[in-house]
């Protein structure tokens, strides 16, 4: 191999590059032979001969094609010369190779890169014996030399462990190997100092040369959180190397606090960026979190870092809250269900152990929660004691009641054990003497600890205590009635809280104590004191069962079938075999983290004579493969260009012979770009929908959506349709029928132009999905068995069209096929489609319908077929014949639909020359029928355009007569 100094590319067979000298010859050769044209048989060559003067065929190959081909040849020659990027002289030693891998937590962040490096190293020489020695294996074992092929599964099974590297145990194993065995060593270092590394290095150097590969990136870790005196949490981000200052190119790292949200799902509760000052190796983080959040924290982690070091666990809630219940004095014996404490005791009993105490003793017992039921007066000494208890994290929950309602405070004084100042007296809702009705609850505000609890409908409040207006009232209210008055208020006092329910704990005031809601609300309030950060526990003397464990990549998973660990071993944890995680013994739970709170990450240090290479250093990489791939791509481009030049690509029906090959080649390239197909998928339906009122609309529908905007082609079509009266037809699903529909409407349009004042433009095919329907006074819809069902959006637009004055003529074109009681396929289809539209009640066209006299006087409505029943909107039943008037007053409006099967379009259809397309009937009779069909068509269009005008004309004689009098 030779390696030119200026470029890190070497060639396996440099002499093959001489072939590049032949390129000019190749250029000349290719220039001489242009691509041959496609040959086609074409009878009108004679006409082409008159054209050909202006067209000179290309005699030469285009230059870009030449360039492409020359490039292709160059690539092939270069690939044949076996180029290698970044050639590196192979290690001089050819003996066995020992690969030491640090697979502790610190190596997890770039584990894939490490594995890839090792794989490439051992695959470089398939004959060389290689052994693996992971430093953090749960069980230390002497290395075994194998062929690279045999080693591959072992390598694939190697994973980072969630504990630190422990190289100290390995030195004796290396020393115990056969004395004659020598090997060179490659150490993939994690970059973090580990105990006993020097001893192992010494043992390895005794056997042969040692090289080290180490990542220059800093290794990060989180220390476990500690609670400070004032309740804030403190933890640190530590790094093995000085971190650069966070800024634009160095985004701050994100600390995530994971725990249960109010609904009980585990998710990230808080995300906090950690800005790093310049050259810091330890960044302290201080967090002050609301108390109810503290109780739900599960663990801390660094976002985006897959390593056990980036996870820091907290103890979680230990056991249940201890609750003390204080009953109002009074002592009179009551029935059980009337006892103010019965509901509280029942509900709280589900949450934790409940004890009863007197008010004076409550604070001294130091429970997690004290519940005071309707206690109005607390003497000053007890108040002070309770205050101190709350400040230390106690939760005081008070309930209103008749006593509290009756109590009055001296003006100007406040009760420190109430979250708000109360107004004297209470408010009744919905009693005999009251106008108002019992109130329901409003949804809990977002900041409320109750947020997420479903609200039942049946909870109503009849009486409540009202709070005096106060600027802080809103923020202290954590539950309110639908009129905004507080139901529950709370204020923080020190590390604890004081909460007041503005209703009694009995069903006298509200139905709340009877509801499941009561239990849920109390469950949110009565949480264990302090936070999730548990106090130190005595470990020794117990067996600790792993509950959830952290794996090497920092994932927290339930421990299944993991053996319990004696407390003594847990004290030194984590160590090989004992993963960090949550361990449990009885009621106690203990988090095991990788580090202590004051841990420091020291970088690994190596003696000067050991060569250290960065992990990302490039390895020799053969280039022949990519070059050949590129050449293949160029070949494809070239073939495409040739097809283009020869015009073969434009043949639509028969793909050129090269196409299957091309498709195959493209398919073989497909895995290189996964997900491309998805990228090509059509964007979600943004079809420009078009609506608006048809031309003669009366009133817009009250709930009509705003007319969507038209754009592009749809707009152009709508303008064309609106600029002249235009008849439209809807697709029947069969191209042949659509052609007839177009020809039929053209025939009708011509007849209209000849005979009437209506001069329609050329008929248009209307797509109800896209086109504006409003400009069309009439839509003809030939229905066949294969007519597609319009989309719901299109149906809605058609409905709108019908409702706002449009008319659709349905034609199944199968009158002769009709048999009583049996549906033709087209009619079945019609039934289906019409069923989806909003149709008025239908009836056969009455003899005196305005359709029979809107232009011509006609009696029947034949098309190509006669005798099919024609249906139209049923006349109103109250219409009756007026005396002296020959016609009933029917159809004040115009029927939105006309349904028939007489194939009118078939009778109207003409070709471009104006000659009828299809035969009608037989002989002269047939032509008369065609004429009647045309007359019906003209009447139909007149009816659509003029509505009941002709019907009104009927009254003209009567009106004139009256005017004359």
Partner 1 sequence: MNTAPAAAPHLAAEARSLAERIGRLRTEAAALARTVALGLHGRRQKGAGEDFWQYRPALAGDDAAAIDWRRSARDDALYLREREWQAAQEIRLAVEEGAAMLYASRRELPLKAERARVLALALGELLIDGGEKVGLLTPPLPPQAGRTAAARLAHALLGALAATPAEDHRPIPLGAAHAARDGHLVLIADFLMPRDAFDHLLERLATGTARLTLLQILDPAEERFPYRGRTEFVSVSGRKRQELAEPAALGADYRRLLEERRERLRLLARRRGWRFAVHRTDRSATEALAWLVRALEPVR
| Interaction site with partner 1 (CB under 8 A) | 35, 37-52, 54-58, 644-650, 653, 911, 913, 915-924, 926
Beta bridge partners of 781: 810
Cα–chain center distance at 291: 33
Count CB-CB contacts under 10 A for residue 53.
Answer: 7
| Residue found under tokens 């090959």 | 661
**Whole-number minimum distance, CB 673 to partner 1, in Å?**
29
**Whole-number minimum distance, CB 16 to partner 1, in Å?**
37
777 Cβ contact partners less than 8 Å away, ≥ 6 residues apart: 694, 695, 696, 725, 727, 806, 807, 941, 944, 945
**Whole-number minimum distance, CB 927 to partner 1, in Å?**
8
Q: Are 310 and 594 in contact (CB under 8 A)?
A: no
Q: Which is nearer to partner 1, 440 or 646 (CB)?
A: 646
Residue 462 main-chain phi, psi, to 5 deg: -105, -30
Q: Are 221 and 310 in contact (CB under 8 A)?
A: yes
Q: What whole-number distance in Å separates Cα of residue 129 and Cα of residue 2?
A: 28
Phi-psi region of 279 (alpha: psi -120 to 50; beta: other; left: phi over 0): left
Q: Which is nearer to partner 1, 116 or 650 (CB)?
A: 650
**Whole-number minimum distance, CB 41 to partner 1, in Å?**
6
**Whole-number minimum distance, CB 69 to partner 1, in Å?**
18
Q: Are 590 and 584 in contact (CB under 8 A)?
A: yes
Q: Which is nearer to partner 1, 478 or 920 (CB)?
A: 920
**Whole-number minimum distance, CB 649 to partner 1, in Å?**
7
Q: Which is nearer to partner 1, 61 or 421 (CB)?
A: 61
Q: Which is nearer to partner 1, 48 or 468 (CB)?
A: 48
Secondary structure of 883-897 in HEC code, one letter for each residue: CCCCCCCCCCCCCCE
Secondary structure of 253-289 in HEC code, one letter for each residue: EEEEEEEECCCCCEEEEEEEEECCCCCEEEEEEEECC
Q: Are 438 and 458 in contact (CB under 8 A)?
A: no
Residue 728 main-chain phi, psi, to 5 deg: -120, 155
Distance from first CA to last CA of the chain, Å, rounded? Answer: 123
Q: Of 883, 629, 672, 769, which Cα lies nearest the Cα of 76?
A: 629
**Is 381 strand, coil or helix?**
helix
Q: Which is nearer to partner 1, 653 or 676 (CB)?
A: 653
Q: Which is nearer to partner 1, 59 or 698 (CB)?
A: 59
Q: Of 800, 898, 799, 908, which Cα lies nearest the Cα of 850?
A: 898
**Whole-number minimum distance, CB 908 to partner 1, in Å?**
15
Q: Of 803, 804, 824, 806, which Cα lies nearest the Cα of 815?
A: 824
**Whole-number minimum distance, CB 36 to partner 1, in Å?**
9
Q: Which is nearer to partner 1, 38 or 206 (CB)?
A: 38
Q: Are 275 and 252 in contact (CB under 8 A)?
A: yes
Q: Of 26, 18, 31, which Cα lies nearest the Cα of 70?
A: 26
Q: Which tokens in the block code for residue 965?
A: 């009098």
Q: Which is nearer to partner 1, 642 or 795 (CB)?
A: 642
Q: Give the pairing type, strands 422-428 and 463-467.
A: antiparallel
**Whole-number minimum distance, CB 642 to partner 1, in Å?**
10
Q: Which is nearer to partner 1, 662 or 918 (CB)?
A: 918
Q: Which is nearer to partner 1, 630 or 649 (CB)?
A: 649
Q: Which is nearer to partner 1, 769 or 927 (CB)?
A: 927
**Whole-number minimum distance, CB 271 to partner 1, in Å?**
58
- CA 963 to each of CA 106, 887, 952, 959: distance values in angstroms, whole numbers, following the listed order: 107, 22, 16, 6
**Whole-number minimum distance, CB 910 to partner 1, in Å?**
10
**Whole-number minimum distance, CB 918 to partner 1, in Å?**
7
Q: What whole-number distance in Å separates Cα of residue 941 and Cα of residue 357?
A: 93
Count CB-CB contacts under 10 A for residue 952.
Answer: 14
Q: What whole-number distance in Å separates Cα of residue 393 and Cα of residue 99?
A: 55
Q: What whole-number distance in Å separates Cα of residue 303 and Cα of residue 310?
A: 8
| Residue found under tokens 């004081």 | 498
**Whole-number minimum distance, CB 657 to partner 1, in Å?**
16
Is-cis flag, bond preceding 574, omega within 30? Answer: yes
Q: What whole-number distance in Å separates Cα of residue 186 and Cα of residue 201?
A: 11
Beta bridge partners of 898: 809, 872
Q: Which is nearer to partner 1, 60 or 384 (CB)?
A: 60
**Whole-number minimum distance, CB 48 to partner 1, in Å?**
5
Count CB-CB contacts under 10 A for residue 89.
Answer: 8
Q: What whole-number distance in Å separates Cα of residue 916 and Cα of residue 908?
A: 7
Q: Which is nearer to partner 1, 117 or 902 (CB)?
A: 902
**Whole-number minimum distance, CB 643 to partner 1, in Å?**
8
Crossing angle (nearest 10°) for helices 342-349 and 516-525 = 70
**Is 372 strand, coil or helix?**
strand
Q: Are 512 and 503 in contact (CB under 8 A)?
A: yes
Q: What whole-number distance in Å separates Cα of residue 511 and Cα of residue 506?
A: 8
Q: Which tokens in the block code for residue 669?
A: 């390239």
Q: Which is nearer to partner 1, 15 or 915 (CB)?
A: 915
**Whole-number minimum distance, CB 921 to partner 1, in Å?**
7
**Whole-number minimum distance, CB 732 to partner 1, in Å?**
17
Give Rg (Cα) of the chain: 45
**Whole-number minimum distance, CB 703 to partner 1, in Å?**
48
Q: Which is nearer to partner 1, 841 or 923 (CB)?
A: 923
Q: Which is nearer to partner 1, 51 or 432 (CB)?
A: 51
Q: Which is nearer to partner 1, 51 or 563 (CB)?
A: 51
């Amino acid at each position: 191999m030779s390696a030119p100094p200026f470029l890190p590319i070497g060639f396996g067979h440099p002499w093959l590059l001489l072939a590049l000298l032949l390129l000019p010859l190749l250029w000349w050769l290719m220039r001489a032979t242009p691509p041959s044209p496609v040959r086609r048989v074409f009878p009108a060559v004679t006409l082409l001969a008159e054209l050909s003067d202006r067209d000179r065929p290309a005699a030469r190959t285009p230059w870009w094609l030449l360039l492409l081909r020359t490039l292709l040849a160059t690539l092939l020659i270069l690939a044949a010369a076996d180029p290698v990027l970044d050639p590196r002289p192979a290690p001089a030693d050819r003996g066995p190779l020992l690969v030491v891998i640090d697979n502790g937590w610190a190596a997890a962040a770039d584990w894939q890169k490490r594995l890839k490096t090792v794989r490439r190293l051992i695959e470089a020489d398939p004959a060389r014996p290689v052994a693996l020695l992971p430093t953090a294996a749960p069980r230390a074992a002497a290395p075994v030399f194998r062929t690279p092929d045999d080693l591959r599964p072992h390598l694939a099974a190697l994973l980072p462990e969630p504990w630190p590297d422990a190289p100290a145990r390995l030195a004796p194993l290396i020393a115990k190997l056969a004395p004659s065995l020598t090997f060179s060593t490659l150490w993939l270092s994690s970059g973090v100092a580990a105990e006993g590394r020097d001893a192992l290095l010494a043992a390895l150097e005794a056997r042969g040369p040692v090289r080290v590969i180490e990542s220059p990136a800093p290794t990060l870790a989180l220390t476990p959180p500690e609670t400070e005196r004032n309740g804030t949490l403190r933890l640190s981000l530590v790094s093995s190397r000085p971190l650069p200052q966070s800024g634009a190119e160095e985004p701050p790292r994100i600390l995530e606090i994971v725990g249960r949200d109010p609904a009980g799902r585990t998710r990230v509760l808080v995300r906090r960026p950690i800005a790093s000052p310049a050259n810091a190796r330890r960044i302290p983080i201080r967090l002050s979190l609301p108390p109810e959040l503290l109780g739900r924290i599960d663990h801390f982690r660094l976002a985006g870092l897959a390593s056990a070091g980036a996870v820091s666990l907290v103890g979680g809630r230990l056991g249940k809250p201890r609750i003390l219940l204080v009953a109002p004095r009074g002592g009179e014996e009551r029935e059980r269900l009337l006892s103010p404490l019965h509901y509280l005791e029942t509900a709280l009993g589900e949450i934790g152990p409940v004890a009863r105490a007197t008010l004076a003793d409550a604070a001294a017992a130091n429970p997690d929660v004290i519940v005071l039921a309707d206690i109005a007066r607390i003497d000053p000494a007890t108040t002070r004691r309770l205050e101190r208890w709350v400040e230390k994290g106690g939760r005081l929950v008070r309930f209103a009641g008749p006593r509290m309602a009756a109590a009055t405070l001296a003006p100007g004084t406040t009760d420190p054990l109430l979250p708000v100042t109360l107004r004297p007296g209470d408010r009744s809702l919905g009693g005999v003497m009251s106008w108002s009705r019992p109130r329901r609850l409003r949804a809990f505000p977002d900041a409320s600890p109750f947020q997420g609890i479903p609200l039942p409908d049946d909870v109503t409040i009849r009486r409540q205590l009202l709070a005096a207006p106060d600027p802080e009232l809103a923020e202290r209210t954590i539950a309110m009635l639908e009129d905004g008055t507080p139901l529950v208020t709370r204020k923080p006092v020190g590390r604890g809280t004081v909460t007041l329910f503005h209703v009694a704990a009995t069903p006298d005031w509200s139905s709340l104590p009877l509801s499941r809601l009561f239990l849920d609300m109390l469950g949110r309030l009565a949480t264990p004191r302090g936070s999730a950060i548990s106090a130190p526990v005595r470990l020794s003397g117990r067996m600790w069962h792993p509950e959830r464990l952290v794996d090497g990549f920092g994932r927290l998973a339930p421990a299944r079938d993991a053996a319990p660990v004696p407390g003594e071993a847990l004290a030194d944890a984590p160590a090989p075999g004992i993963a960090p995680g949550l361990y449990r013994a009885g009621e106690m739970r203990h988090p095991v983290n990788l580090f202590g709170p004051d841990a420091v990450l020291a970088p690994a240090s190596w003696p000067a004579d050991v060569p250290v290479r960065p992990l990302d250093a490039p390895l020799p990489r053969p280039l022949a493969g990519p070059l050949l791939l590129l050449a293949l791509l160029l070949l494809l481009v070239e073939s495409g260009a040739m097809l283009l030049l020869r015009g073969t690509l434009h043949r639509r029906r028969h793909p050129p012979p090269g196409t299957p090959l091309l498709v195959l080649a493209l398919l073989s390239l497909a895995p290189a770009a996964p997900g491309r197909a998805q990228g090509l998928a059509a964007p979600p339906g943004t079809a420009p929908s078009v609506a608006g009122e048809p031309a003669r609309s009366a009133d817009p529908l009250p709930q009509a959506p705003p007319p969507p905007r038209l754009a592009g082609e749809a707009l152009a079509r709508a303008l064309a349709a609106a600029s002249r009266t235009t008849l439209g037809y809807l697709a029947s699903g069969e191209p042949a029928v659509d052609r007839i529909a177009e020809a039929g409407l053209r025939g009708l349009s011509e007849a209209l132009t000849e005979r009437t004042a209506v001069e329609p433009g050329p008929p248009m095919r209307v797509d109800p999905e896209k086109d504006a329907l409003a400009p069309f006074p009439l839509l003809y819809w030939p229905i066949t068995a294969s007519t597609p069902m319009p989309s719901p959006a299109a149906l809605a637009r058609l409905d709108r069209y019908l409702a706002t004055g449009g008319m659709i003529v349905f034609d199944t074109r199968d009158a002769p096929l009709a048999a009583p009681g049996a549906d033709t396929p087209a009619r079945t289809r019609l039934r289906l489609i019409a069923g989806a539209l909003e149709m008025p009640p239908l009836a056969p066209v009455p003899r005196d319908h305005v359709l029979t006299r809107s232009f011509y006087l006609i009696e029947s409505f034949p098309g190509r077929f006669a005798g099919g029943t024609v249906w139209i909107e049923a006349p109103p039943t109250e219409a009756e014949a007026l005396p002296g008037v020959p016609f009933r007053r029917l159809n004040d409006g115009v029927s939105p639909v006309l349904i028939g099967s007489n194939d009118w379009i078939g009778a109207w259809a003409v070709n471009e020359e104006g000659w009828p397309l299809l035969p009608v009937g037989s002989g002269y009779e047939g032509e008369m029928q065609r004429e009647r069909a045309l007359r019906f068509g003209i009447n139909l269009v007149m009816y659509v355009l003029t509505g009941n005008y002709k019907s009104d004309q009927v009254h003209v004689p009567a009106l004139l007569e009256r005017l004359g009098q």
